[in-house]
Structure 1
């Protein structure tokens, strides 16, 4: 039998996702050797869809790997590489970032002693302060600033902050995506248009944090409030969403053919207006690696916020705000998703450049 091997690793939740974390220095120098390690750790491929022989959870949001190491990039403390792992197949996809898991990178970096961040107060004195870790996401070449409480040199875990889609409470964490437009294409609107017609429907193709395709639920002939189970059971809807996503990817320049489009980008979601009395400003149902997301990926939420500020987009036309409520850069955009609501913000400067509020 071959010699058994082991590697140090950590297991973190970020937002509504979970991932195995590796210190880059503990992995082989040759990136080609990473894939087999990641697949073995997560338990893929598993034809039964359970990932029972690893730490995956049988769905895309629980089948993820993060690699973190010290950075030499100016303005960054750590480099962070994300990998989406197939559940039933052996795919290891590095083509996009995960916004949810970005939330765990800063705390991991502090806990693993990769950084000694500057504490800038805001806590309860000696034992608790706010720290900011500057993260270079290697998948997109974009910077993210994570700000969170630190207690006695470790990232705080307990707290009273809650998010829809996750039971219980934990310490709060803020993510600022610095200049997120053009993560893969170099442009906020890769085709130069707020709307393109794809497969007979109007679609907004936008690249903010991750490339995304947004289509109206009404144009698809479905309710905007379908549950993930209802979406998963509608094979025709799933097939059409994937067809639109693949055709959109070619239009965005992400692939030359529909067959060459990676599984994780672009993301696709359908949008609708909230019903009267709802607190949400817009309702979204998002897909993640071919599966309906039980909440909403953070990068999709960021792209929704950006698209809500683009006149004529399929998102902007469905946004309903109370009288006197400012744009998403002022008070934020309340997004209704399958598990509740999420508030995000996007701000454009006087030249129309997307940045952080």
Structure 2
């Protein structure tokens, strides 16, 4: 019997924000995987270790959570005024599919450093000491991200004293600007609020009629009130993820919200679009203890937010969902804004299971339509391992 050897593909394993993923330069992929399609999907799933009925991804680079089952492809940009094109692939853990429908805001923070270190950014744009401005085209949703990457002695600075709740160790701060983040290429017809309302009534069978803010900013997100579901907003992961009934309820809310947002035609299609939309629940600020044992008080935050990703409560907060939170908080009358106390604001601090996060957004009402020029937040990133991934042919 003939046994084919494994193939070696240059890759870098990176942490970006509160996520981890395997990063590739497009030209380093096998030729068949350099274009979208079944060959690319098969390669990336095998790299991560999916599909895995054991849900552990032991035979791959994945970490058996939505935050660690991620892949990124970066190339020199084909667009004017951009340095690199960035494509994000969310790998399903147990099922054989890749979801290309949205961005990962956390891994966005690692794209600039990866691109600089990988020779994908023109050397003239990189200072010997200072901050490199990397102009990123986010190809999944057709949006621009500006990354401010610290440089020391001509190389990406990874160490520093910036602390990010949900990440154990400090690192160098990377500021991200998500430009015009309303996801108008994701089935919403260019409207930040695809239903035309700041708050809708969403009728979910076996759950009831819920108030919901459904927004396309950063990533399509459905916000509901924690109290309407019997929650306080202080819940940690186990309170939700150990409750099969709760997870099924949130998936039903997500599926029905996706139909109302025009992202899918029927709720049955939601299973093949697991990465988007996100669903989150909000509540007014309240004291709680984070998953690390850190006390979070009402003086630290404006509101509470808990969000689900790929069917499970996220251990911290997805970066793209943070953009949605910041944008919705800046628009008076949304459920997020009301939970934060209402009124106009350009910055919001919210509590999540691992601690707190601050995000800013600039929103304006123009000709009866809400628009946002940009959302701003800080993350950190660093290389965990660089070399090759080995994949059976």
Question: TM-score under structure 1 normalisation?
Answer: 0.93
Would you say the 8 A contact 2:303–2:339 is kept in 1?
yes
Query: Are residue 356 (structure 1) and residue 384 (structure 2) matched?
Result: no
Q: 1:350 to 1:45 in 2, by over 3 A?
A: closer
Could you list the per-position Cα deviations for residues 80-101 of structure 1 after superposition, in whole angstroms to 9, with x for gaps in the alignment? 0000001122221101100000
Cα distance in 1 for partners of 2:220, 2:57 equals 28
Instruction: Give 5+ residue unaligned stretches, structure 2.
Output: 288-296, 376-393
Match of 2:355 in 1: 340
Cα distance in 2 for partners of 1:259, 1:196 equals 22
Q: 2:42 aligns with which of 1, 11, 36?
A: 36
Would you say the 8 A contact 2:214–2:220 is kept in 1?
yes
Q: Which 4+ residue blocks in structure 1 deviate beyond 3 angstroms?
A: 117-121
Could you list the per-position Cα deviations for residues 284-343 of structure 1 after superposition, in whole angstroms to 9, with x for gaps in the alignment? 01000101100010111110111112232111111038xxxx9542xx210100000000
Between stretches 67-76 and 208-217, larger displacement belongs to 67-76
Q: 2:254 aligns with which of 245, 248, 251?
A: 245
Cα distance in 2 for partners of 1:39, 1:193 equals 38
Q: 1:133 to 1:56 in 2, by over 3 A?
A: same
Cα distance in 2 for partners of 1:194, 1:327 equals 15
Would you say the 8 A contact 1:305–1:345 is kept in 2?
yes
Taking only aligned residues, the RMSD between alpha carbons, in angstroms, comes to 1.7
1:70 deviates by 0.5
Query: Are residue 305 (structure 1) and residue 314 (structure 2) matched?
Result: no
Between stretches 35-44 and 136-145, larger displacement belongs to 35-44
Match of 1:195 in 2: 199
Cα distance in 2 for partners of 1:74, 1:254 equals 29
Q: 1:221 aligns with which of 222, 230, 233?
A: 230
Cα distance in 2 for partners of 1:99, 1:146 equals 11
Would you say the 8 A contact 1:281–1:333 is kept in 2?
yes
Q: 1:5 aligns with which of 4, 7, 25?
A: 7
Cα distance in 2 for partners of 1:328, 1:164 equals 23
1:169 deviates by 0.7
Q: Any idea what SS the aligned residue of 1:275 has?
A: coil
Question: Which has a greater percent of strand?
Answer: 2
Match of 2:340 in 1: 319
Instruction: Give 5+ residue unaligned stretches, structure 1.
Output: 122-126
- Map residues 152-167 of structure 1 onto 2, 5 A cutoff: 152-167=153-168
Q: Any idea what SS the aligned residue of 1:133 has?
A: strand
Would you say the 8 A contact 2:332–2:344 is kept in 1?
no
Q: 1:292 aligns with which of 309, 313, 322?
A: 313
Between stretches 180-189 and 133-142, larger displacement belongs to 180-189
Would you say the 8 A contact 1:118–1:131 is kept in 2?
no
- The count of residues paired between Structure 1 and Structure 2 equals 346
Q: Any idea what SS the aligned residue of 1:346 has?
A: strand
Would you say the 8 A contact 1:269–1:286 is kept in 2?
yes
Match of 2:177 in 1: 176
1:253 deviates by 0.9
1:20 deviates by 0.1
1:31 deviates by 2.0
Q: 2:24 aligns with which of 9, 22, 25?
A: 22
Cα distance in 2 for partners of 1:163, 1:4 equals 38
